[in-house]
Structure 1
Amino acid sequence: MTEADGARLADSLNPDVREVLEERYGHLLPGMADTVIDMAYDRFYARPALDLKSRYIATIAALTAIGGQTAPQLRINVQAGLKVGLTETEIAEIIWQMTLYGGLPAAINALNTLRAIGGDN
């Protein structure tokens, strides 16, 4: 995968992610947006051993287990998970499974994030 391929993947899953990162953090950390796109999309999400759906299952699970402080990242990754074919019901089950590892408050916060986004209602 080339850098251009990673940028296209980022744009297809999270439109304008580069611009949003640059606007929010570019004045503090020039180049941060490029680093995030390079790291996340070129070096992780584009790896061939797992499909995108599996990668988003893992990501949503991890962000849920970490807890409420990850709500903005969880929102972005739930939206991307829906784009790659996860259903709202599947995401709810992923979140519920994490109750065992992150606790009920973390799962409820993640379910509230899912509800705010909606999916296959």
Structure 2
Amino acid sequence: MSLDTAYERGKALSEQVNPGMEDALAARYDTLVPGLSRMVVEVPYGTFYSRGVLDEKTRLLATIAALAAMGGQTRPQLKVNIASARAVGASREEVCEIIYQMTLYGGFPAMINAMNAAIEVFEAEDE
């Protein structure tokens, strides 16, 4: 099956790394902003993330780094991307090292907040 459109590529990729994401977004936001869930699948996943230059693990580790450096306001997205990175093979050590490196760019508070988010994801995995 050829994935010809950005939406089709995004749907396939989002279901691989974050199953059910579009439905969850639709249930929460589409009554307020119709089509928001489809846009999230189509634009970041179908246009940016599916380019094929980076493997999924590398892309997700880069995303974790950016979100960690941005600080505590990204906690929900950080947790989703940490879980997705773990699902495609990133180790706990790799996730924590990426977060630790962001101390240089986002500061200690941002690193601690991101590390706490990672710990929450790891604890959920262990349950």
2:96 paired with 1:89: no
Counting matched residue pairs gives: 121
1:50-109: CA deviations, max 9, x gaps? 111111111000000000000000000001111111101100000000000001111011
Q: Which runs of 4+ in 1 moved over 4 A?
A: none
* Counterpart residue number, 2:79: 75
What value does the CA root-mean-square deviation take over the aligned residues? 1.6
On the 8 A contact 2:14/2:41 being kept in 1, the answer is yes
* Counterpart residue number, 2:37: 33
* Counterpart residue number, 1:19: 23
2:113 pairs with one of 96, 109, 120? 109
Percent identity of paired positions between Structure 1 and Structure 2: 44
On the 8 A contact 2:10/2:43 being kept in 1, the answer is no
Runs (5+) with no aligned partner, structure 2: none
What's the offset of the Cα at 1:6? 2.1
Q: Normalising by structure 2, report the TM-score.
A: 0.89
